[in-house]
Amino acid sequence: MNARILDYLKTNGEQLDVDIAAALHISMPQVKTLVEQLSVSGDVICCHVTRFIDGKKIEGTSCRLSCDLPAPSRGRKPGGKKDSLADVFAE
């Protein structure tokens, strides 16, 4: 079951425990237990969140993979200097 949760988080990114339970058809107490096990082993990072959707307060646990890093952005990086043609031909 832990592998199913990890696969779900790999494909869908950060999710609330409620969303994980609904998508995998698992009861909430079972999801909380499994997510806690994954968190202790270091596979998943969890934090308690409060969200307001249409004025309704929703509390839950947000989960994401611990190794889930964003891909580096393409293009020039900030702080990089471009050699100007004037500097090249000045010598």
Q: pLDDT tens, 19-38? A: 999 999 999 999 999 999 99
DSSP string, 22-91: HHHT--HHHHHHHHHHHHHHTSEEEEEEEEEETTEEEEEEEEEETT--PPPPPSPPTT--PPPHHHHHT-
Q: What is the pTM of this model?
A: 0.67
Q: Where residue 90 falls among pLDDT bands split at 50, 70, 90?
A: low
pLDDT, residue 58, reads: 87
Domains of the chain, by residue range, sit at: 2-65
3-state secondary structure (DSSP) of residue 13: coil
Q: Specify the CATH number of the domain 2-65.
A: 1.10.10.10
Calculated CA dihedral for residues 64, 69, 70, 76, nearest 10 degrees:
160
pLDDT, residue 75, reads: 75
